[in-house]
Structure 1
Amino acid sequence: GPDRALCHYPREHYQHWAREFPAQADLFVAPAFGENLSTEGLTEENVFIGDIFRWGDALIQVTQPRSPCFKLNFHFGISDMATQMQNAAKTGWLYRVVLAGQVSADAPLKLVSRLSDVSVHDACAIAWHMPFDDEQYQRLLAAAGLSTSWTRTMQKRRLSGKIENNSRRLWGNQAG
């Protein structure tokens, strides 16, 4: 959907995965994670939900961390790759297109606006690594630019008092 128009994966992470899984090291080259963008210098720690970047003539906005899924397990031949990616918070992130325009691989990404204090890393921690924490869900919900699906998930958690089961996303139909 529109909140997931582009996927960005930090190039630095490829070195991490190649060290973790030397037998599959030759697989860890862009765009092995299915990303549209791969750069150096931008990571989950220094990119924030709602950040707007100029890329060529286009404006794109960070909407959420990528939610790794079981397809990565098959792609890399690593049974728990999606879970490891999520646990390491090396997920990359997704963008919506705010203003369409001409782009190219040579055009740099330039931050033009920062709208929240919630990094992509923080969003991963809030969603996947913390026990139920209503205050942190409210913090994430207050991040301007958060995707509709993540907004719904955090609101549902607040209403139910429960964290949903992610095993189907991480493992497919097999038990995790």
Structure 2
Amino acid sequence: MRYPVQVYTGTIKDYPGSRPSAIAKYQREGELLLTPLGLEGDSQAEVGIHGGPDRALCHYPREHYEAWAQSFPEQAGLFAPPALGENLSTTGLTERNVHIGDIFCWGDTLIQVTQPRSPCFKLNFHFGISDFSRQIQETGRCGWLYRVVSPGKVYTDKPLELVSRVSDISVYQAAAIAWHMPFDDEQYHLLLSAAGLSASWTKTLQKRRLTGKIEDFSHRLWGKKS
């Protein structure tokens, strides 16, 4: 299957009342260079938690915006690509039919799905919804991230094409295991077996297995510890 894609990049901006962010992106056209760290012209504000080789690109399904607009009619005008800061926007690909480790061909490059996108508190600020990040996490409408397996030139008029599936774990299932289930060592082992899983998720799951505890999500979701 081939999936037409819209492409977005952005630079870091200051936001009074919140921390700097590169969430505000604009559509690109034509030929772009895709490096191991992402698209030329794209930035991440806090590289410790955003960006890097395992998080070089962010993909968000376009069809989710309609559901968000229905849930939050007062903010309905905000819900259109690339409002969640995504680099890639498509229809037909969602967390339920994209798997950890999936490899897509795009232009002259290959990209691989590494993890669900972990929503953070900055989304609450940008949408004016106090618990939006939590709702993204709970619904599983989170999108996903890629590493660049083979860098090169990409073209905004070229579709994404799935060329290899190397695990049985969907992005939705990965999110459910990590965020929705009580401590379950067997499920963590299952997710760890998914080829292509990001280093950060591997580290988190292994730490849970060693400690027998699930980490606190509140700092990521609300910007503070409980």
Whether TM-score is above 0.5 comes out as yes
Structure 1 moving runs of 4+ over 3 Å: none
Do structure 1's residue 114 and structure 2's residue 155 form an aligned pair?
A: no
Instruction: State the one-letter code of the partner of 1:98.
Output: V
Q: Residue 90 of structure 2: SS of its match in structure 1?
A: coil
Instruction: State the one-letter code of the partner of 2:208.
Output: R
| Cα displacement string for residues 102-145 of structure 1 (whole angstroms, at most 9, x for unaligned residues) | 11221111001000000000000000000000010000000000
Map 1:22-171 to 2 at 5 A: 22-171=73-222
- Which ranges in structure 1 are unaligned for 5 or more consecutive residues? none
* Structure 2 CA distance for aligned equivalents of residues 67 and 44 of structure 1: 13
* Structure 2 CA distance for aligned equivalents of residues 42 and 17 of structure 1: 17
Do structure 1's residue 5 and structure 2's residue 60 form an aligned pair?
A: no
* Structure 2 CA distance for aligned equivalents of residues 60 and 101 of structure 1: 11
Aligned pairs, number: 175
| Cα displacement string for residues 23-50 of structure 1 (whole angstroms, at most 9, x for unaligned residues) | 1011011000000001000000000000
Q: Residue 103 of structure 1: SS of its match in structure 2?
A: strand
Change (3 A) 1:149 1:25: same
* Structure 2 CA distance for aligned equivalents of residues 62 and 152 of structure 1: 17
* Structure 1 CA distance for aligned equivalents of residues 118 and 111 of structure 2: 19
- What percentage of aligned pairs have identical amino acids? 73
Please, what is the CA RMSD of the aligned residues?
0.8
Q: Residue 153 of structure 2: SS of its match in structure 1?
A: coil
* Structure 1 CA distance for aligned equivalents of residues 129 and 121 of structure 2: 10
Do structure 1's residue 18 and structure 2's residue 66 form an aligned pair?
A: no
Q: Residue 111 of structure 2: SS of its match in structure 1?
A: strand
| Higher helix proportion (structure 1 or 2) | 1
Instruction: State the one-letter code of the partner of 2:117.
Output: R
* Structure 2 CA distance for aligned equivalents of residues 54 and 122 of structure 1: 23
Q: Residue 178 of structure 2: SS of its match in structure 1?
A: helix
Instruction: State the one-letter code of the partner of 2:185.
Output: D
